Amino acid sequence: MDSIKCSSSFLHHTKLNILFSNHTFPKSSSPNFKRLFRPISISAKARRSSEAENIAVVEKPLKSERFLVSDGLPSPFGATIRDDGVNFSVYSTNSVSATICLISLSDLRQNKVTEEIQLDPSRNRTGHVWHVFLKGDFKDMLYGYRFDGKFSPEEGHYYDSSNILLDPYAKAIISRDEFGVLGPDENCWPQMASMVPTRDEEFDWEGDMHLKLPQMDLVIYEMHVRGFTRHESSKIEFPGTYQGVAEKLDHLKELGINCIELMPCHEFNELEYYSYNTILGDHRVNFWGYSTIGFFSPMIRYASASSNNFAGRAINEFKILVKEAHKRGIEVIMDVVLNHTAEGNEKGPIFSFRGVDNSVYYMLAPKGEFYNYSGCGNTFNCNHPVVRQFIVDCLRYWVTEMHVDGFRFDLGSIMSRSSSLWDAANVYGADVEGDLLTTGTPISCPPVIDMISNDPILRGVKLIAEAWDAGGLYQVGMFPHWGIWSEWNGKFRDVVRQFIKGTDGFSGAFAECLCGSPNLYQGGRKPWNSINFICAHDGFTLADLVTYNNKNNLANGEENNDGENHNYSWNCGEEGDFASISVKRLRKRQMRNFFVSLMVSQGVPMIYMGDEYGHTKGGNNNTYCHDNYMNYFRWDKNEEAHSDFFRFCRLLIKFRDECESLGLNDFPTAKRLQWHGLAPEIPNWSETSRFVAFSLVDSVKREIYVAFNTSHLATLVSLPNRPGYRWEPFVDTSKPSPYDCITPDLPERETAMKQYRHFLDANMYPMLSYSSIILLLSPIEDP
């Protein structure tokens, strides 16, 4: 979450004054908050006193008109099918009473509760856990909780029995049916409820198992479920859904992708900051989804029929997506936002964690203020014992029940910060001399990361950290890793962008990136611990990176103040899409240069959705709020590029897969790697050098030679002499398609090869400005 997804006040890589939350909701929601979030009314029961101090005693036996009621068990948390009934269990330390609310789907639409059962603390509470066991007909039945206790924000408590709260462990959450459509009475926050599990939605996995691909072999594709197929050119029955992605997986297979990284698919409210956009004439929404409501629930409105077919449909459609991906040899990684929730700061809604146990789930200051290391109003209290167990339970669920293959942790550095009331006894069960830490202090051995890293299930999946947060903590190369965590390598992005556009002083740093960033990851880690990327969801697309010097975010409605200002982009001489033919040719060349640098680097390459055909967002580098063409994959444009840039990307990914020397398990040494300059084995690492070349011994290709000329001047390169062999061109980004990548089946291949022959016979190669080449070693045939 580099750029802002929740508030216009916080920018990527900007150290913020965020000791306490100063998050404000958009103008569309804050003045009329009660209209936007209206809890179900209480009919026969008055609101309990907010100053309740003692546990309420329920003298009457638990009764229900619809269900058989018994004590229940304190574990597992959530709603669990057991013995022809359902056990409900929820943790709440400071509440004095609890009521479970059963709500039919039809009653939810009418803002009514079907039945309430007040729990008896003498029978339905064990320690800090409320629990009850119910038998009956749960078809189309939902549930929630009311908790009572202190409403004292200065003490960190927000108990209010007028709120019906979501179970933090809810496996599916129901509210509105359709993405982007307001609820009754134009309500952005209609009442939500948790799904009661039934046996009706059992899923046939058909023997599906985790692929367990070696991480060094991955080519990751970051994508948005709705954005991938929402555009009309996708021509599918259910655009913008899990089912839509499943239908289009063959495109990714053709491209050579073997791992998709899904932007947030947990339940979120896309209408969180719903407001009219006067510039585009549509409405701003939370399109990206980095503002979670329920961590166990898939995003219901990504299903083909959402709650019309009940929540189980969304769960099964997500499983179908995973199963279909696995059939094609593609792993599925989820982007998880375990750093904050959609409840914001003290002005935000109360729909789950805050009303269940605010002081446990959020990082609070002594007077109840919310720490805001996320830049979105609150910070999840990740290293609290209860919260870290919640996190582990959640991740385990998605691995075991939903078959996902790993996780990318948004603002992952927050998980390394100490929890509220941090002390050794709180965390480890015993006091340690001098162990008292200020809330939010980074710690070297964070308990939650320790638990994840050593969990027998989670240790075997992909674990990727976005190793920074909005509070200025930047841990790229230093994230607590236990030898298994990888990181989004933001330094790779910044260095490669600057070198490819011809900035002096980056040749040495660029060479480090090509080697897998050993300056960051050598010493207990591997090249594949570096997730290499040029572009991601936040920031410029690849096409915009070579088209715009400046961001163009006016359509976001924030006067161009949001988004990253330091993009290291270059427009190739003219700003914007309307440019001369020569500038457009240079832009295509630069796109190819970036892609070559990504594919020949050690580490794990990651591509952003749409970059394979040159998707543009018109220079907007923070499109978090747009449910429109900016974020929609253009299948028509992809078809146009099929024989051009898409072909180039596909062939480069295939080449990387074929080469034994690309994607190594260890950092390359001098036995395999040689650096070159304009002359063989004489590299130039000076401040003014804009030329980097290397050769790699490869057991499949014999040897490959790669060179980058990012100068504005053409140059003639002397190649390493290999007696009995000749270098032959495979890639030259200065050539137009299809001659930018010469394959054996290329029409008129021999004619194209003859153009190089006289140079190659002299062991030389001419390189135009801003170009890169890949040469392969071929034996010289006898005349």
Q: Is the dihedral of CA 252, 226, 211, 326 positive or negative?
A: negative
DSSP state, 661?
T
Q: What are the two backbone dihedrals, phi and then psi, of residue 224, each rounded to the nearest 5 degrees?
A: -115, 130
Nearest to 457 by CA among 382, 400, 511: 400
Contact between residue 770 and residue 589 where contact means Cβ atoms under 8 Å apart: yes
Query: With DSSP H G I counted as helix, E B as strand and the rest as coil, what are the percentages for the chain, rounded to 5?
Result: 25, 20, 55
Task: Choose, from 116, 466, 611, 612, the residue flagged as catalytic.
Answer: 466
Q: What are the two backbone dihedrals, phi and then psi, of residue 680, each rounded to the nearest 5 degrees?
A: -60, 140
Q: Which residues pair with 718 in a beta bridge?
A: 764
Name the strand (E) or helix (H) holding 533: strand 530-533
Please state, in angstroms and rounded to a whole number, the distance separating the CA atoms of residues 42 and 709.
Answer: 71
Please state, in angstroms and rounded to a whole number, the distance separating the CA atoms of residues 596 and 506.
Answer: 17
Task: Choose, from 261, 267, 272, 410, the residue flagged as catalytic.
Answer: 410
Please state, in angstroms and rounded to a whole number, the distance separating the CA atoms of residues 382 and 143.
Answer: 26
Please state, in angstroms and rounded to a whole number, the distance separating the CA atoms of residues 739 and 164.
Answer: 63
Q: 238-260 burial, b if ≥16 CB within 10 A, otherwise e? A: bbbbbbbbbbbbebbeebbbbbb
Please state, in angstroms and rounded to a whole number, the distance separating the CA atoms of residues 734 and 31.
Answer: 56
Please state, in angstroms and rounded to a whole number, the distance separating the CA atoms of residues 211 and 233.
Answer: 31
Contact between residue 466 and residue 409 where contact means Cβ atoms under 8 Å apart: yes
Nearest to 510 by CA among 482, 532, 477, 486: 532
For the residues of 172-229, what is the DSSP string, one character each? -EE--SSTT---GGG-SB---EEEPP-GGG----TT-------GGG--EEEE-HHHHH
Computed over its alpha carbons, how large is the radius of gyration of the chain?
28
Structure tokens at 30: 């804050």
Contact between residue 217 and residue 201 where contact means Cβ atoms under 8 Å apart: no
Q: Is the dihedral of CA 540, 545, 547, 548 positive or negative?
A: positive
Active site includes 267?
no
How many Å is the maximal CA-CA distance in the chain?
A: 103
CB burial class (10 A; 0-12, 13-18, 19+) of residue 693?
A: buried
For 603-645, what is the HEC assignment?
CEEEEECCCCCCCCCCCCCCCCCCCCHHHCCCHHHHHHCCCCH
Strands 282-284 and 173-174: unpaired
Active site includes 410?
yes
Q: Alpha helix locations (H) across 663-783? A: 749-761
HSE on the CB side for 545, CA within 13 Å? 31
Please state, in angstroms and rounded to a whole number, the distance separating the CA atoms of residues 624 and 190.
Answer: 22
Nearest to 88 by CA among 116, 130, 125: 130
Active site residues: 410, 466
